Chain A
Amino acid sequence: MTTTPLHLAVALDGAGWHPAAWRATGARPADLFTPGYWADLVAEAERGLLDLVTLEDFLGPQSAAFHRPDDRTDQVRGSLDAVLLAARLAPLTRHIGLVPTANVTHTEPFHLSLAVATLDFAATGRAGWRPQIASRAADAAHFGRRTTPQLTDEEARDPERIAARLRPLFDEAADVVEVVRRLWDSWEDDAEIRDAATGRFIDRDRIHHIDFEGPHFSVRGPSITPRPPQGQPVVASLAHASVPYEFAARASDVVFVTPRDLAGTAAVLAEVDAAAKTVGRDREDRPLLVLADLLVLLDDVPGEAARRLARLDELAGAPLASDAEIFAGTPDELADLLLDRHAAGLDGFRLRPAVLPHDLTAVTRGLVPALRRRSAFRGAYTASTLRGHLGLARPESRYARKR
């Protein structure tokens, strides 16, 4: 077994990741748009000492299809802005990282930077952000400012074809992250001087224009928000293909990947390594953590999780399909599987509970103790920031280094 720490995240989304989750026993479908529902979930995740939770977001109603909206009424539709949801949860938690998704195709890099920095202040150093491109052309009409490619049904089935078609959006997304990161650095940590003798509140030599100029937009800066507690909040992205691997290698601190088995794990890790080499990233200097996504159904009784999945599939009218590997079993079985994959080189896992709160509670009260019994997971939080949980140092502002 490796001795590197294992990182564990949970992805929170609606009633859970199974389309029929909202119809399961214990689900709270009427509460999905209330803060109390999310507060209960994130408190449970924090009791399990998890590194972070991610919060999904959508610029259009959810859809069973990847690339276009649908008109279904039998699944959860509707969402709250994930950054604001994370902020609402920040004062209610003390340790756990909060990583909302936010779109980068139809939004302003300047506003995104302020919002995530503000989340980091509210969470005293526990903020992250998952930049997401708009992969549905229909979303563009919500803004009426531009168009984005409409994927065909054929293309939507193949991650490589999706990524190739949307490559310009990924390139633009990398520019967005670059702008956001420069803005976070634009105030050096000691820019606020409060020097009564000279009447100066700030030292302008320690606050910098960022002067970003790219093909899609230019941003002058500096930020209006001082440097956030972590300096650089954590950037995490989800990747299934070479283009998004490269995006992650350029822009992210954490990449979520979707191998289907042990062999797939090795292949994905090799692809991430190759992407890092392609973009010239020095992973000693700038670590890139790789977490594998699994959609999980967990029950202590052997066979029960599979039976539960079958019942859910029956309600949904179709077998569960996911971009990630689906695991239905006992917490102990999952613990063994995760440790095998961890030994293969993954830094950790992002688990997508099929049903909330059932499969979240099974993670925190079943899986985590199982990992602990194998001495493979923390018994208490040892850091106070998300970067700290992930073993990432707090970087100095790039502008401070230059001065």
Chain B
Amino acid sequence: MSTPARKHRKQVHLAVQLPAIHNVTVWSDPRSRSQIAFESFAALARTAERGLFDFFFLAEGLRLREHKGELYEYDVAGRPENLTVLAALAAVTDRLGLAATVNATFNEPYDVARRIASLDHLSGGRAAWNVVTSFDAFTGENFRRGGFLAEADRYTRAAEFLDVTRRLWDSWADDDVRPDPARGHFVRADAGRFAHTGPHFDVSGRFTTPRPPQGHPVVIQAGESDAGREFAAADADVIFSKHNRLDVARAFYADVKRRLAAYGRTHDELKILPTATAVVADTDAEAAAYADEITRAQVGPETAIAHLEAVWGRDLSAYDPDGPLPDVDPDPDALVLRGHSIFRTGRAETARRWRALAEERDLSIRELVIEVHGGQNFVGSPRTVADALDHFVQTDGADGFILVPHLTPHGLDDFVDRVVPLLQEKGVFRTAYTGTTLRDHLGLGPAPTRRQEGAAS
């Protein structure tokens, strides 16, 4: 696929996330449709496939968020079980990759390996798994074991979980199912046999699902902390990154790619895709105005107060969102927002930074939250946005992007209709799918050779 000797432009990889959570989704817009009806998922997936995207991505949250002891009401809420809805989407798409976030804490490898292998069979080789971990007892209250895992053990469990999962995918050879009716031979003896003993898992027996079409479905990881980056460099095919500012993104990209060699992996074997928003209009000025409008809708007065409360650890409902920041100091130990990873740690420092920023720029509460929210990432005419995306990739800020539209399900339409053709014109984006599997789309090459069982760890 890549010929290093020849000078060539990096290809841009594109994915789309159905947000359905947080304040990115502007549900109050009259064009906003159901976040849970299957037709919304199908509509967005079809648009992404029309745009020749690499994959469709779903995040996960296993407990409804609570704020000040009650369910949080202001954001869109209510989401599906990821693998189930992706299996249904496999029926209405032909090439689009289907990526599910599935927690490695509140699941077991046998079940996850089986379900992702099943999705890979049911989609003809288009499945991906975004491995995330959780440790908190709040989410644990929905599960058999409760909050059983120490924060420090998150990555060791995830790494071992992933290892066991791949071992299960490898437990059947590609040709183990060779039905020969005349001879009465359906399957290789011992197909699926596995055994693993480690600190987190002690499992053995026979795996039920034949080797997935991709061999190993694509593995995605967030890779943020040092341990996370190391995990991703060792084991992931894609990094789902939050670094969508070019300077920070380039440093992250260089750091993670540099770590690959230690694991005997090449630069191209790990794709780094930040999440990003794109706002497109006829002119740069119109797009800028539209982007401001979206950001203001994403940070309404209630959201502004709620975010401030989350950082301050206090009830601030008596404050005017259009007025100045409260005089009271944050309560660094109180946690008012649960079931959400933002503002969980470093809140005292965040509060100091916010107060300094508000004083320096004379911002109201809502103006401050809008400011720190960061607004939209790629804003402008189709040409401006295409150039900026391309520049970001060619200068090694990323290998592509996971776009997060603010409208469900038609928030990707403009991008596909107006930006994708320009990327194609520049020669940095495919004009047709050239492969059938997600590994093909991402240029990952075939899965590593199957590990034979018997060499148990």
Please count the residue pairs between chain A and chain B whose beta carbons lie under 8 angstroms apart in the complex: 226
Please indicate the chain B residues that have their CB under 8 angstroms from the CB of A87 in the complex.
84-85, 87-88
B80 and A106: CB pair below 8 A? no
B91 and A35: CB pair below 8 A? yes
A118 and B84: CB pair below 8 A? yes
Question: CB of B38 within 8 A of chain A?
Answer: yes
Nearest B residue (CB) for A207? B71
A23 and B77: CB pair below 8 A? no
Chain B 360-374, CB-CB to A under 8 Å as 1, else 0, gives 000000000000000
Question: CB of A30 within 8 A of chain B?
Answer: yes
Please indicate the chain A residues that have their CB under 8 angstroms from the CB of B92 in the complex.
91
A88 and B88: CB pair below 8 A? yes
Q: How far is the CA of A29 from the CA of B107 in the complex (A)?
A: 32
Question: CB of B174 within 8 A of chain A?
Answer: no
Partner of B87, one of A27, A61, A85: A85
Q: How far is the CA of A357 from the CA of B303 in the complex (A)?
A: 56
Of B49-57, B188-196, B396-404, B408-416, the stretch lying at the interface with chain A is B188-196
Which residues in chain B, 69-83, are within 8 Å of chain A measured between CB atoms? 70-71, 73-81, 83
Closest chain-A Cβ to B157's Cβ sits at a distance in Å of 13
B179 and A222: CB pair below 8 A? no
Closest chain-A Cβ to B92's Cβ sits at a distance in Å of 5
Total interface residues in chain A, CB < 8 Å: 78
Nearest B residue (CB) for A206? B71
Closest chain-A Cβ to B164's Cβ sits at a distance in Å of 10
Question: CB of B61 within 8 A of chain A?
Answer: yes
For B42, B71, B146, B177, the residue with the greatest tally of chain A CB atoms inside 10 Å of its CB is B71
Q: How far is the CA of A224 from the CA of B28 in the complex (A)?
A: 21
Question: CB of A143 within 8 A of chain B?
Answer: yes
A73 and B189: CB pair below 8 A? yes
A81 and B81: CB pair below 8 A? no
A84 and B28: CB pair below 8 A? no
Please indicate the chain B residues that have their CB under 8 angstroms from the CB of A202 in the complex.
71, 73, 77-78
Closest chain-A Cβ to B211's Cβ sits at a distance in Å of 10
A142 and B205: CB pair below 8 A? yes
A88 and B179: CB pair below 8 A? no
B187 and A77: CB pair below 8 A? yes
Q: How far is the CA of A73 from the CA of B188 in the complex (A)?
A: 6
Question: CB of B356 within 8 A of chain A?
Answer: no
Chain B 170-209, CB-CB to A under 8 Å as 1, else 0, gives 0010000101010011111111100000000111111111
A61 and B206: CB pair below 8 A? yes
Which DSSP category, helix, strand, loop or mixed, fits chain B's interface?
loop
Question: CB of A196 within 8 A of chain B?
Answer: yes
A89 and B91: CB pair below 8 A? yes
B191 and A200: CB pair below 8 A? no
Chain B 39-68, CB-CB to A under 8 Å as 1, else 0, gives 000100000000000000000011110000
Please indicate the chain A residues that have their CB under 8 angstroms from the CB of B28 in the complex.
194, 196, 199
Question: CB of A219 within 8 A of chain B?
Answer: yes
Question: CB of A399 within 8 A of chain B?
Answer: no
Q: How far is the CA of A89 from the CA of B88 in the complex (A)?
A: 7
Please indicate the chain A residues that have their CB under 8 angstroms from the CB of B191 in the complex.
61, 77-78
Closest chain-B Cβ to A141's Cβ sits at a distance in Å of 5
User: Given A74-B184, A78-B192, A315-B184, do A138 and B144 touch, yes or no (CB 8 Å)?
Assistant: no
A118 and B27: CB pair below 8 A? no
Question: CB of A92 within 8 A of chain B?
Answer: yes
Q: How far is the CA of A221 from the CA of B88 in the complex (A)?
A: 25
Q: How far is the CA of A95 from the CA of B88 in the complex (A)?
A: 16
Please indicate the chain A residues that have their CB under 8 angstroms from the CB of B83 in the complex.
84, 115
Closest chain-B Cβ to A378's Cβ sits at a distance in Å of 26
User: Given A73-B186, A219-B142, do A108 and B107 touch, yes or no (CB 8 Å)?
Assistant: yes
For B42, B70, B181, the residue with the greatest tally of chain A CB atoms inside 10 Å of its CB is B181
For A77, A106, A220, the residue with the greatest tally of chain B CB atoms inside 10 Å of its CB is A77
B203 and A142: CB pair below 8 A? yes
A143 and B121: CB pair below 8 A? no
Of B109-117, B234-242, B263-271, B328-336, the stretch lying at the interface with chain A is B109-117
Please indicate the chain A residues that have their CB under 8 angstroms from the CB of B108 in the complex.
106, 143-145
B122 and A84: CB pair below 8 A? yes
Question: CB of B231 within 8 A of chain A?
Answer: no
Question: CB of B141 within 8 A of chain A?
Answer: yes
Question: CB of A58 within 8 A of chain B?
Answer: yes
A201 and B75: CB pair below 8 A? yes
User: Given A91-B38, A111-B81, A199-B300, do A218 and B141 touch, yes or no (CB 8 Å)?
Assistant: yes
B70 and A122: CB pair below 8 A? no
Question: CB of B210 within 8 A of chain A?
Answer: yes
User: Given A22-B186, A196-B28, A199-B303, do A84 and B119 touch, yes or no (CB 8 Å)?
Assistant: yes
Please indicate the chain B residues that have their CB under 8 angstroms from the CB of A184 in the complex.
none
Closest chain-B Cβ to A76's Cβ sits at a distance in Å of 6
Closest chain-A Cβ to B20's Cβ sits at a distance in Å of 10
Question: CB of A238 within 8 A of chain B?
Answer: no
Which residues in chain A, 313-345, are within 8 Å of chain B measured between CB atoms? 315
Please indicate the chain B residues that have their CB under 8 angstroms from the CB of A282 in the complex.
none
Closest chain-B Cβ to A325's Cβ sits at a distance in Å of 27
Closest chain-B Cβ to A206's Cβ sits at a distance in Å of 10
Partner of B209, one of A79, A111, A198, A220: A79
Please indicate the chain A residues that have their CB under 8 angstroms from the CB of B85 in the complex.
87, 118, 121-122
Mark A residues whose CB is within 8 Å of B: 22-23, 27, 29-30, 32-35, 39, 58-61, 69, 71, 73-81, 83-85, 87-92, 106-111, 114-115, 117-119, 121-122, 124, 138-139, 141-145, 187, 192, 194, 196, 198-204, 207, 216-222, 224-226, 315
Known: A78-B210, A143-B203. 17 other contacts (CB 8 A): A29-B181, A60-B206, A61-B206, A69-B206, A84-B115, A91-B92, A118-B84, A119-B88, A138-B205, A139-B205, A144-B202, A198-B302, A200-B74, A204-B70, A219-B142, A219-B143, A225-B36
A-B contact pairs, 19 of them (CB 8 A): A22-B181, A58-B208, A71-B190, A73-B185, A73-B188, A75-B186, A76-B186, A78-B172, A78-B209, A81-B115, A118-B81, A121-B36, A121-B37, A122-B38, A124-B38, A142-B204, A201-B73, A224-B62, A225-B81
In the complex, the 6 A-B pairs of residues with the closest C-beta atoms, listed nearest first: A29-B179, A114-B81, A122-B88, A220-B141, A87-B87, A204-B71
